[in-house]
Structure 1
Amino acid sequence: MSNNSVSLHRVLKTSPEKVYRAFTDATAIASWLPPYGFLCTVHEMNVTVGGTHKMSFRNFSTGNGHSFGGTYLELKPGEVIKYTDKFDNANLPGEMTTTVLLRKTIAGTEIKITQEGIPAVIPAEMCYLGWQESLEKLAKLVEPEIPDA
Structure 2
Amino acid sequence: MRELIPGERIRLADKFDDTGLVADMTKTITLRPVSCGTAIEILHEGLPAAIPAERCYLGWQESLLQLANLVEADIPGGV
| TM-score interval, smaller chain | 0.7 to 0.9
1:143 shift after superposition: 2.3
From 7, 17, 25, give the equivalent of 1:88: 17
Percentage identity across paired residues of the two chains = 57
**CA RMSD after TM alignment:** 1.5
Q: 1:106 to 1:145 in 2, by over 3 A?
A: farther
Instruction: Count how many residue pairs are aligned between Structure 1 and Structure 2.
Output: 75
Gap runs ≥5 in structure 1: 1-71
Q: Extract structure 1 runs of 4+ deviating beyond 2 A.
A: none
Find out whether 1:79 has 2:8 as its counterpart: yes
Q: Secondary structure in 2 aligned to 1:87?
A: coil
User: When you count strand as a share of all residues, which structure comes out higher?
Assistant: 1
Does 1 or 2 have the higher relative contact order (CA < 8 Å, sep 6+)? 1
Give the TM-score, by structure 2 length. 0.85
Query: What are structure 2's unaligned runs of at least 5 residues?
Result: none
TM-score (norm 1): 0.47
Does 2:43 correspond to 1:114? yes
